[in-house]
């Protein structure tokens, strides 16, 4: 899966769907770049970790070509990923609360374990064939680096020919 660097506000040079490589249409896609260390903070801090993520993450909306079918699947996968992410934020706090209520300290560890599993789910979605789509590698002032599943679409977008 190749990475493509897209200059800010550059016109789309390809209509090939970034997921399957078929002919598609330009769609607005918003990407969020979350620093990797933020995941650790979420596991151990829960909601305060989320505040830190909101302060340090960047987002960008740009046009990418998708077929209708792929765009729908990609959005569905992202919604599922976001849902499990927010459940992961609540899990450590829920575990601590349960530990306090029941007097059984193992609930705290169970809460943290649940958060780790829930955070792994978006990573699984990203690499799944059905719902995995483009994802953001870097957001810079003048360009966005996007990871694109379809080799053909990636080469068409970056204006190079795929290796034979």
Interface residues with Zn ion (CB under 5 A) are 17, 19-20, 67, 70
The conformation of residue 22, written as its DSSP 8-state character, comes to S
Residues written for the chain: 164
> Could you tell me the smallest distance in angstroms from the CB atom of residue 54 to Zn ion?
31
Closest approach of Cβ 85 to Zn ion, in Å?
A: 25
The two three-digit tokens of residue 66, written as one number? 């998708």
With 0-12 / 13-18 / 19 or more C-beta atoms within 10 angstroms meaning exposed / middle / buried, residue 42 is buried
Pairing relationship of beta strands 25-33 and 3-7 according to DSSP bridges? unpaired
Which CB atom, from 50 or from 64, has the smaller least distance to Zn ion? 64
Closest distance to Zn ion from the beta carbon of 73 (Å):
8
**Residue 153: CB minimum distance to Zn ion, A:** 8
Q: Residue 39 or residue 71: which is nearer to Zn ion going by CB?
A: 71
Q: Which is nearer to Zn ion, 18 or 43 (CB)?
A: 18
Side by side, the strands of the sheet bearing 3-7 are 3-7, 143-147, 135-139
3 state DSSP class of 27: strand
Shorter beta-carbon distance to Zn ion: residue 91 or 148: 148
């Amino acid at each position: 899966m190749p990475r493509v660097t897209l200059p800010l506000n550059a016109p789309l040079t390809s209509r090939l769907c970034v997921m399957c490589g078929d002919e598609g249409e330009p769609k607005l896609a918003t990407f969020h770049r979350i620093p990797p260390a933020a995941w650790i903070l979420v596991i151990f801090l829960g909601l305060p970790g989320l505040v830190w993520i909101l302060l340090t993450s960047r987002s960008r909306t740009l046009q990418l070509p998708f077929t209708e079918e792929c765009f729908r699947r990609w959005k569905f996968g992202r919604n599922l990923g976001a849902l499990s992410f927010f459940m992961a934020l609540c899990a450590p706090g829920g575990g601590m609360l349960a530990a306090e209520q029941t007097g059984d300290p193992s609930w705290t560890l169970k809460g943290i374990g649940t958060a780790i599993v829930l955070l792994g789910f978006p990573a699984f979605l990203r690499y799944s064939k059905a719902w995995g789509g483009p994802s953001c590698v870097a957001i810079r002032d003048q360009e966005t680096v996007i990871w694109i599943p379809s080799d053909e679409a990636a080469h068409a977008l970056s204006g190079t020919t795929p290796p034979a």
